[in-house]
Structure 1
Amino acid sequence: MQTSGFTNAPVSQLLVFWVVVASVLASVTDTKYYFYLQIVPQISQWGQFWRLLVWQTCYTNSTEVLFAAMTFYHLRVIERLWGSRKFASFLLLALPFSLLLPPFLLAILRPLTFGRLNYLPAGPTPLIFAILAQYQAAIPSMYTYRIGTASPTPDPPQIPSATITLSSKSTNYFLPLQLALSQFPSAILPAAVGWLIGNAYRSEILPGTSWRVPGWLVGQGSRRDARRVEALRRRMEETEEAIATGVESPRARRP
């Protein structure tokens, strides 16, 4: 059974706190207009390159704040699986890519779409989808179910019914999907980039995937304790992967 609250998930707790408080402060101080990004005129004409660093600071409407906070809360299971140290390292490694890749791609896509794509909505949507990619790959489904439009005994029986197969994880995808579609089509690009960053990290394509933040930064004890926790985490991760794929890892076979 999944533990409720933020037990063993201090980084996720900080993310939820940051999403809510930063958005409230931007609203109270009337500074929301500082956090979205446009290639034209903000970057190309006005030279506001500082927006490349701040556009993920907060969301600018309450609906997105709610969806983002709930998504970070649901995805805290990744921090519990990995440990806070690896989870924080992953976020810090993914952050520069998630900040700079969407504006770079937007600058390329803008002339190709005749100026239709020129805007990046504010908020850490790329980071959310980078974590969501880990959730999709690492957490197995507990069960599946089907939703159909026909009765169990259709009449006539030869007409196929329209059904959709869902899993126990499906509901956790609805909230981030709302974020990706909230400001369509502009929000699709940061969501897609975040998903690619998450999969690149998992495939060890991103440089520095073995790097870890200092243990004291996430409240861990001595270096020896940190090594023990890291070894235990790796064994648990291999076991989870074996359960999800049905294939035992060669390292997991070692006595």
Structure 2
Amino acid sequence: MFTTTGSRGLDKAPLSKGLLLVLSGLTVVLNLLPQYNHLFTYSLQAITLQHQVWRLVCGRLICLDLKDTFCNSLLIYNFRILERRFGSRKFASFLFGTWVLTALVDFLLSEAFHYLFDYQVSELPAGLLGPVFSLFVPFYSSIPKVPVTQLLGQISITNKSLVYIVGLQLLTSSPFMWLVALSGLVSGKLYHGNALGVQRLLFVPRWLSRVGAFVLEPLFSGPPPPNEPPLGMGATLDIQRQQRMDLHDQQVLLAQFHQARRNHRPPQNGLMNWNRFFPSLRHRGQNLPPEPQPHPSPQQLHPTPTAPPLVNTPVAEEQVARLMEMGFSRIDVQDALRASNNDINVATNFLLQHLG
């Protein structure tokens, strides 16, 4: 309800799924074997004084605290929308680039804190926290904010509120988490803005991306969710009737969209394939299909409705601009809004899920 990541789970986000499974699993293993925790602490003092450079890798991958792991996993799960939006290779390049940058910014911020307050920061929270905080930068600038509801009539709740609340919870989980968060935000701004050409220096090579797609993607990619709800598989008559109503609404909405395409312009090459269903949208006042017989035929189970006359409702330019900020073309945004009766939530979810 409060996020724009849709209901497609981890479909088309194999890297996010891999990070969730691997990092969470390693955290559980380390909590079962606490005698090895000292090898994965992110100790700045051990790195500078004892030259244990390997801690820059081990201490910045696995969370030792279960609460940090839980919040970090929730953020990775919600940020999977960025992997769909940018692609797995660009998403991996962003994580790798900010992971390298945060190693440098961590030391700069700790030295600045020591210089200003005469306090030496000897240890920071362990785990893949800096790159995850850096993902707030593209999430804030690339994902549009859609109002969902209001709390007490004054506080606006948007589709991104839950992500910020989880980030705030992670920020307050340990004393120096704020330093890791600030390091991640600075590194994310530097990489997202391509300061000093860091995107050309810190990236995942194409050959490595292909190897990862060939080896890891079959392990972490799952089947896409079904487009249609199953009809009649052990459900009650009320549930079956509701499923048929939802399917009928989807077909009506799709027919309306094709009608809008025919009315406004001829088909053009290079446009995206709209031959998919929108999420369920209730059209009040429309006639529902008749009740099925005891042994309905396939034509009765999947009727092809005729689109009702489509009113040429003007599209709000503000909504068009907000959706175009994500990189979608003006034509696709206008057609999505017309087909969804200017419902920006439906149009946003469809564009993000099928084009993100």
TM-score, with length taken from structure 1: 0.74
User: How many Å apart are 1:83 and its aligned residue?
Assistant: 1.0
After TM superposition, the structure 1 = structure 2 runs for residues 183-198 of structure 1, keeping only pairs within 5 Å, are 183-184=174-175, 186-198=176-188
Residue of structure 1 equivalent to 2:158: 167
* Letter of the structure 2 residue corresponding to residue 181 of structure 1: T
Relative to structure 1, the CA distance from residue 2 to residue 232 in structure 2 (aligned partners, 3 Å threshold; closer, same or farther) is farther
User: Which ranges in structure 2 are unaligned for 5 or more consecutive residues?
Assistant: 215-269, 273-319, 331-356
User: How many Å apart are 1:245 and its aligned residue?
Assistant: 7.5
Asked if 1:53 is matched to 2:43, the reply is no
User: Which ranges in structure 1 are unaligned for 5 or more consecutive residues?
Assistant: 153-162, 221-230, 234-241
- Counterpart Cα distance in 1 of 2:17 and 2:271: 23
* Letter of the structure 1 residue corresponding to residue 172 of structure 2: L
Larger radius of gyration between Structure 1 and Structure 2: 2
Residue of structure 1 equivalent to 2:37: 32
Relative to structure 1, the CA distance from residue 44 to residue 92 in structure 2 (aligned partners, 3 Å threshold; closer, same or farther) is closer
User: How many Å apart are 1:206 and its aligned residue?
Assistant: 5.2
- Counterpart Cα distance in 1 of 2:20 and 2:76: 6
Match of residue 111, structure 2, among 80, 89, 107: 107
Post-superposition Cα deviations, 1:201-240, rounded to whole Å, max 9, x if no partner, equal 22221534255532413427xxxxxxxxxx999xxxxxxx
After TM superposition, the structure 1 = structure 2 runs for residues 12-161 of structure 1, keeping only pairs within 5 Å, are 12-30=16-34, 31-40=36-45, 42-115=46-119, 117-148=121-152
Q: Is the 8 A contact 1:35 1:54 kept in 2?
A: yes
- Counterpart Cα distance in 2 of 1:248 and 1:44: 42
Residue of structure 2 equivalent to 1:178: 169
- Counterpart Cα distance in 1 of 2:18 and 2:187: 21
SS at match of 2:135: helix
Q: Is the 8 A contact 2:145 2:158 kept in 1?
A: yes
Post-superposition Cα deviations, 1:48-83, rounded to whole Å, max 9, x if no partner, equal 333223221211121111111111111100000111
Post-superposition Cα deviations, 1:143-189, rounded to whole Å, max 9, x if no partner, equal 154333xxx7xxxxxxxxxx4333221111111221121102x0101
Residue of structure 2 equivalent to 1:225: none
- Counterpart Cα distance in 2 of 1:171 and 1:177: 10
Post-superposition Cα deviations, 1:27-56, rounded to whole Å, max 9, x if no partner, equal 23322222233444x244433333223221
User: How many Å apart are 1:95 and its aligned residue?
Assistant: 1.8
Q: Is the 8 A contact 1:89 1:212 kept in 2?
A: yes
Matched residues, number: 221
Asked if 1:11 is matched to 2:44, the reply is no
